[in-house]
Amino acid sequence: MKNYSKIGTSEEARTELHDKLGLTGAEISINILPAGGCVPFVHSHKQNEEIYAIVEGEGAVVIDGENIRVKAGDWLRISPEAKRQFFASEKTALKYICIQVKAGSLEGYTMNDGVVSN
């Protein structure tokens, strides 16, 4: 595999990066819900922790029945087993990044995994 891969992104409703970038440790999607829209189902995960970054707009996520308001700049971690559903507000579209990783998979990071060359 090449030592890197790079793509630009467009304004599609959903862009999935795993295959486009050749990811091996995560799936990442970029999602846009129109104003008043929502993900049309509730879901959880078997193994994967999900991390969400709210990029633009505002809305809410219902997690195990709890309604949590979200806005641009917010980040969330959601445990695999939690049942979740995202909603855009009535006034703004909601653009967010969703990062799926296997819960508990990270070993070292930054100072414990990085190697400085010079």
Q: Among residues 16, 31, 35, 86, which is the contact residue for its own copies, using CB under 8 A?
A: 16
Structure tokens at 18: 């795993």
Query: Minimum distance from CB of 45 to its own copies (Å)?
Result: 5
Query: Minimum distance from CB of 103 to its own copies (Å)?
Result: 5
* Contact by Cβ (8 Å): 87, 94: yes
Tell which residue, 42, 28, 4, 36, has the closest CA to residue 96.
Answer: 28
Q: Hey, which residues between 68 and 97 contact its own copies (CB under 8 A)?
A: 68, 70-71, 73-79, 81-83, 97
19 touches its own copies by CB under 8 A: no
Who's near 41: CB < 8 A, 6+ residues apart?
85
Task: Find the radius of gyration of the CA atoms of the chain.
Answer: 16
Nearest-angstrom CA–CA distance, 95 and 106: 27
Query: Minimum distance from CB of 51 to its own copies (Å)?
Result: 6
60 touches its own copies by CB under 8 A: no
Residues contributing to the site for its own copies (CB under 8 A): 1-9, 16-18, 21-29, 41-49, 51, 53, 63-64, 68, 70-71, 73-79, 81-83, 97, 99-110, 113-118
